[in-house]
Amino acid sequence: MTAGTAGSPEVGPVQLLEKHRATLDQALETIRSRAYWSPHPEHPKAYGEGGTLSAEEGRAAFEELRGSRFELPGQPGGDGWTATESSPYGIALDIEYPHVDVGTLLPAMRLGMPAWREAGPEVRAAVCLEILARINARTHEFAHAVMHTSGQAFLMSLQAGGSHAQDRGMEAVAYAYAEQTSTPRTAEWSKPQGKREPLELSKSFTAVGRGVSLLIGCNTFPTWNGYSGLFASLATGNPVLVKPHPRAVLPLALTVRIAREVLSATGFDPNLIALAAEREGEGLAKELALHPQVRVIDYTGSTAFGDWLEAHATQALVHTEKAGVNTVVVDSTDDYQGMLANLAFSLSLYSGQMCTTPQNLLVPRDGIDTDEGAKSFDQVVTDLAGAVDKLLGDDARANALLGAIVNAQVGERIDAAGSLGEVALASRAVTHPEFPDATVRTPVIVKLEATKPEAEAAYLSECFGPVSFAVAVDSTPEAVRLLRRTVREKGAMTVAGYTTSPEMEQLIEDACLEECAQLSLNLTGGVYVNQTAAFSDFHGSGGNPAANSALCDGAFVAGRFRMVEVRRPA
């Protein structure tokens, strides 16, 4: 296929719509009800039949990719190859991706826009759902790709990087469809003029994309954090240029290749999506972000670069998820063991390398009331450390929960944590039976005094990785004041609270409503503050410094297209 031209479709729009309309309708219903739903199984054994890759097939497909050139047939502007990944599990990937000349690629990406616009929101949604269906069929392959770029453990890679990411993508497709179709395709307008003939016009309304949409991927959650923006932009008529993190190219490269295949098969220009893998130290994101043809940006990563994008890429609509400092207010509980177990799991999952992992545990200096009686500050911290130890005592379970440390900086932060205060729980290294070169570390918990200036400097900075601070505060109201300040100054993706007091609950809730942060209260079972479910939970609020948008809501999709009206006499 020649770049910029579409072949005759293997799959027609009618077939596609028939295949996916019921799923789209269910997704549309669920973003309104926000009940539980997912069409993407999260159990590994759910795959292997009906054209989906089994565990063995997924692993084999991944092994096939290692040490190879990742071809993207027909993608214009190729000017060489680049390989920048290294598995946090220590195995060689050695996958080369095409490097592109942006000046050639960007104009070519726009050529398919008219046909993609003319297809309309429903066909675009069906094409997006077909892409997601084909990604879903290869969930096991994606699991390995996510595992060996992010360092997530296998099961988490399969769930968060596979089915849950697919859910987020579908959620964005549903929001995009709903927002575009809230204006009718045509309207007849008749304005009475008293005894004279009415004024009459026929109007048509067409959703048009803004232009090229740039996805700047992240290292830790390349698919989960990337799919909302990718599918929201594609579904609203925009070509999508994917610039992955240089350490996490494969999951997005697979995504782009599958999407290009589906676009071709359905008669659209495959260049509506393209991959821009960069060379080591190239700084391609900065160059692309300021390009006049780039009109939408989705970014997940550091606060510094996110702030830079918001300030400088003013030609584009910029959606950012940056860093925050997540707080847990511990006031009281009627399920002490449940609270400890829940928090221990939250701190341990993916070694705290989630933007949603709690960092500061604010506990009153005089202790808390629990169903097991009063517990002093020290006791709470000791018991939490014990809960983490118990959770991770078995190396097999520790490896399954922790995954690998994604880069050396995280390791350095773990090692430096001891200098910040009294260590309540020291980090230990865990050996991975299959990947002996992986760096696997358990969390460290450091005790701090809220009012000490040097402590404040520590707990008011994001310390990305498995480092958390048990901060002694004067009282719960004081904890809530500190929570407010933290959210306002540093941002927060999540807030958690434990309390049996209606007054304290209201205090925490009001703080979150006013400072605009998502709150989880009294989680003691199998739901964790760091996890959000697509179709039901909002990820981030978009209203505090941690992020300027939320996954996913109307605002996330509404600006990606404009409605062009043509009116004529009826």
Question: Binding residues for a second copy, per CB under 8 A?
Answer: 31-36, 113-114, 117, 178-179, 182-184, 187-193, 199, 201, 203, 205-206, 208, 210, 310-311, 314, 509-510, 512-514, 516-527, 533, 536-538, 541-543, 550, 553-555, 558-559, 562-569
Between CA 25 and CA 245 the distance in angstroms is: 34
- Find the shortest distance in angstroms from Cβ 201 to a second copy: 6
Beta strand 273-275 with 294-300 is unpaired
* Cβ nearer to a second copy, comparing 94 with 510: 510
Q: How many CB atoms lie within 10 A of CB 77?
A: 20
3-state secondary structure of 397: helix
- Find the shortest distance in angstroms from Cβ 556 to a second copy: 8
Exposed/middle/buried for residue 490 (C-beta within 10 Å: 0-12, 13-18, 19+): buried
- Find the shortest distance in angstroms from Cβ 334 to a second copy: 11
* Cβ nearer to a second copy, comparing 396 with 563: 563
* Cβ nearer to a second copy, comparing 175 with 469: 175
* Cβ nearer to a second copy, comparing 249 with 340: 340
3-state secondary structure of 277: coil
- Find the shortest distance in angstroms from Cβ 532 to a second copy: 9
- Find the shortest distance in angstroms from Cβ 555 to a second copy: 4
Between CA 273 and CA 3 the distance in angstroms is: 12
How far, in Å, are 71, 85, 95, 98, 261 from residue 68 at the CA level?
A: 9, 13, 5, 12, 19
* Cβ nearer to a second copy, comparing 179 with 383: 179
Q: Which helix (H) or strand (E) holds 334?
A: none
- Find the shortest distance in angstroms from Cβ 310 to a second copy: 6
* Cβ nearer to a second copy, comparing 477 with 554: 554
* Cβ nearer to a second copy, comparing 369 with 537: 537
* Cβ nearer to a second copy, comparing 397 with 562: 562
Between CA 137 and CA 117 the distance in angstroms is: 28
The candidate with the shortest Cα–Cα distance to 235, out of 116, 113, 125, 123, is 125
Beta strand 186-193 with 196-209 is antiparallel
The candidate with the shortest Cα–Cα distance to 305, out of 327, 280, 276, 284, is 284
Between CA 230 and CA 223 the distance in angstroms is: 10
- Find the shortest distance in angstroms from Cβ 118 to a second copy: 9
Query: Look-up: residue for tokens 């220009």?
Result: 269
Between CA 135 and CA 123 the distance in angstroms is: 18
- Find the shortest distance in angstroms from Cβ 36 to a second copy: 5
